[in-house]
Amino acid sequence: MKGWLVLISLLAGALLLSLMIGQVLMTPAMLWTGLWSGTGPGALTLRVLRGPSTLTAAGAGAVLGASGTVFQILLRNPLAAPDVMGFMSGAGLAVVAGVAFGVLLPLPLLAAAGGLLAALVVTLLSVRPNGAQSTFTLILVGIGVSFFAAAASSFLVTRMPPQEAADAQRWLVGSLSARSWQHAAQVWGIGSLLFLVLAVQVRAMALLELGDDLAAGLGVRINRARTGLICTGVLLAAAGVAVAGPVPFVALMAGPLGMRIAGVTQPGARLTAAAITGALVTVLADVVSRSLVPGLQLPVGVMTGLMGAPYLLWLLMKEAEAGEL
Amino acid sequence: MKSLTGLALLLALAMALTLLVGVQDASLGDLWRAVFAFDPADPAQVVIRSVRLPRLVAGLIAGAGLGMAGTIMQAVTRNPLADPGLLGVNAGAAFAVVVGALISGYSDSGMIAALTFPGAALASAAVFLLGGARGGTAGPVRLTLAGVALNALLLSLISAIILSRSEVLEVFRFWVTGSLAQAHSRPLAMMAGTLLLGSVIALVAAPRIEALALGTALARGLGTRPGRVQLAALAAITLMTGSAVAVAGPIAFLGLIVPPLARRMARHVLRRELILSALLGAAIILLADTLGRLIVAPAEIRVGIMTALIGAPAFILIARRLTPGATA
């Protein structure tokens, strides 16, 4: 219980910081007056300048965090995350391709299609010539697919007109600048829907975690449950990509970090903790990337890269002691 | 011998294509005159001399350097997924140059280009440590992900520095994109020299690196000192990768796809493999560059993107064959 309190107060603090910090510092009192009176600088900040992007950051972080944990539980490996395994780069590639070829579909649909396609390709290609399949091959093939999607995205970007190319390049790093209420509503709307689906699937997930044989014995249809969970996980990641670009490492970090802070082990609790931690990490990264250099907004992906890369290195050092990889 | 001749012919073809094909097509006669009887009034000859010859030389340096560096890396880490680009050595070199260019305010002097070497040295030392060159070997997943992390860290740092100083976007364009297009303003002669030095070190150390691959204890028994051999390998990788980044920026995947092809032709003799890697690396980069200039002419696709489009599927092919626990 104490862990949850810590996690939620951290998130609340990060959200408040995100609303306060920017070109002009807003005190909590100014924000409070703005919220109730609806006029003044506080109201403008909440309604136009920082409100929508803060909410978008929190929503994107939450869906990414939950997505990473779905795969980490399913594959029983802390390295299994949609950013490492190429699903997010696949979603990113689909969005860039849609823009480049003028496909008039909404971004979330494009991202979802790209993510699902990448997941399908990774799954099919990771069946080894002798028919065996392992998390080891899945992760390596996923990294390969993400390399390819990144290269193909760069290829498409070089074919765009200069201004469009600069925007696309920034988006591909992961960016939260100039988000509107539409983005916030989109990620929260799709996100809540997917969380409901996940809530239905969580029982099967808990049983799958006990091992396939036991789960089958308890009446879980293994393949169906697993496919359903993979789809939910990919769609969660795609919902994040659609509003913030393929922000790296949030999905990888949020799960283990949230599990530790909240002190939980059950799948349902882990997913909730991961969603809150994902929101926390993304909002904080956004605050830092906005305030690091005065008058300039770094893409949020640069910040999550600086935070996530050392975490990944540390994780690899630790995993190495456990062997197998 | 047969494979050597074949590769030499392939390289000659790639060189001819680099010099003759492009928006301004040129004939062999133009090439001859541009070299031996230069007429500054003929546009075909001017293009060959001032644009395509430097491009060719840069391609030769980068291709041979990255091909050989990949071969040495794969031999030392005993890992078929090792590549200077994927493991972050290129990014280390580029990072050092960007920092140097920012501090000094210049972007294209030979002194700045030489900063690739300390950058590459630090990054390859990090790779050696992570790759467990001392003691056991790291598995492919660990090594590859360590490279992903190192690359992400360095590129995030580069972006943070670059984006916070808007006047240096040119520095980024110049140093952090893998391309042969700016070859004419690179210190080509100097980098050819350092590449040669690196290749000599690699060729001399090759038999001892092979002994090391048999295991540290056995290598000691055969009279090699593992620490010194690894230091030589590190120096060779640094010199070869640094030269390549200084003339062409960071280009990934070349060091991944060249060694397995060269290994088969060289029948697993490292010295022969190195020579074939140099030829094959240079041929592939020149062909990829020519293709990149042709498919969207008059615009061009940077050669780094071309090698990634070819190399990523190759990465998946190689990864599919690996089994957990094996160090191939």
Q: What digits encode the pLDDT tens for the residues B213-245?
A: 777 777 777 777 888 888 999 999 999 999 999
Give me the pLDDT at residue A69, please: 95
Cα gap B206→B199, rounded to integer Å:
10
Cα gap A149→A239, rounded to integer Å:
18
Collapsed DSSP state (helix, strand, coil) of residue B83? coil
Phi, psi of A31 (to 5 degrees): -65, -40
pLDDT band of residue B137 (cuts 50, 70, 90) is low
Two structure tokens written together for A273: 């903790």
Cα gap B58→A157, rounded to integer Å:
25
Two structure tokens written together for A317: 């050092």
CA–CA distances in Å: residue B115 to residues B92, B120, B170, B242: 10, 9, 18, 8
Handedness of CA A183, A185, A188, A189 (dihedral sign): negative
The CA distance from B296 to the nearest CA of chain A, in Å, is 8
Boundaries of domain holding B276: 53-321
Q: Do A158 and B299 touch (CB under 8 A)?
A: yes
Cα gap A139→A90, rounded to integer Å:
15
For residue B159, tell me if it sits in a domain: yes
For residue B29, tell me if it sits in a domain: no
The CA distance from B193 to the nearest CA of chain A, in Å, is 32
Instruction: Please state the domain extents for chain A.
Output: 2-322
Two structure tokens written together for A185: 């509503």
For residue B45, tell me if it sits in a domain: no
Do the Cβ atoms of A234 and A87 come closer than 8 Å? Answer: yes
Indicate the DSSP class of residue B168.
G
From the centroid of its chain, how far is CA A287?
17
The CA distance from B179 to the nearest CA of chain A, in Å, is 13
Largest CA distance in chain A: 68
Indicate the DSSP class of residue B80.
T
pLDDT single digits (tens) B165-217: 766 667 777 777 888 888 888 888 889 999 999 999 999 999 988 888 777 77
Per-residue buried b or exposed e for B163-201, using 16+ beta carbons within 10 Å of the residue's own CB: beeeebeebbebbbbbbbbbbeebbbebbbebbeebbeb
For residue B198, tell me if it sits in a domain: yes
**ipTM of model over 0.90:** no
- Residue B138, domain CATH: 1.10.3470.10
Cα gap A250→B31, rounded to integer Å:
54
Cα gap A189→A193, rounded to integer Å:
6
- Residue B162's Cβ-count burial label (10 Å; 0-12, 13-18, 19+) is buried
Please name the residue of chain B whose CA is at the shortest distance from the CA of residue A139.
B141
Do the Cβ atoms of A60 and A247 come closer than 8 Å? Answer: yes
Cα gap A257→A277, rounded to integer Å:
7
- A309 shares contact with chain B (CB less than 8 Å): yes
- A216 shares contact with chain B (CB less than 8 Å): no
Do the Cβ atoms of B65 and B198 come closer than 8 Å? Answer: yes
> Per CATH, is A2-322 categorized as 1.10.3470.10?
yes
pLDDT single digits (tens) B69-97: 999 999 988 888 889 999 999 999 999 98
For residue B281, tell me if it sits in a domain: yes
Tally of structural domains, chain B? 1
Cα gap A80→A229, rounded to integer Å:
14
Give me the pLDDT at residue B225, please: 81
A contacts of B308 (beta carbons < 8 Å)? 147-148, 150-151, 154
Cα gap B27→B16, rounded to integer Å:
10
Cα gap B290→B284, rounded to integer Å:
10
What residues of chain B, 230 to 289, have a C-beta less than 8 Å from chain A?
253
- Residue B223's Cβ-count burial label (10 Å; 0-12, 13-18, 19+) is exposed
Cα gap B147→B142, rounded to integer Å:
9
Cα gap B64→A139, rounded to integer Å:
31
Cα gap B319→B317, rounded to integer Å:
6
Two structure tokens written together for A262: 């909240």
Residue whose C-alpha is closest to residue B49's, from B183, B249, B194, B247: B183
pLDDT single digits (tens) A223-282: 889 899 999 999 999 999 999 999 999 999 999 999 999 988 889 999 999 999 999 999
For residue B40, tell me if it sits in a domain: no
- B2 shares contact with chain A (CB less than 8 Å): no
Question: Which residues, given as ranges, of chain A have pLDDT below 70?
Answer: 131, 319-325
Cα gap A136→B140, rounded to integer Å:
9
pLDDT of B138 over the 80 cut: no
pLDDT of B133 over the 50 cut: no
Give me the pLDDT at residue B37, please: 81
Two structure tokens written together for B8: 């030499």
Neighbours of A279 (CB within 10 A): 29
Cα gap B29→A122, rounded to integer Å:
50
Q: Which among A150, A293, A303 has the least Cβ separation from residue B164?
A: A293
Collapsed DSSP state (helix, strand, coil) of residue B107? coil
Two structure tokens written together for A245: 């670009």
A contacts of B166 (beta carbons < 8 Å)? 296
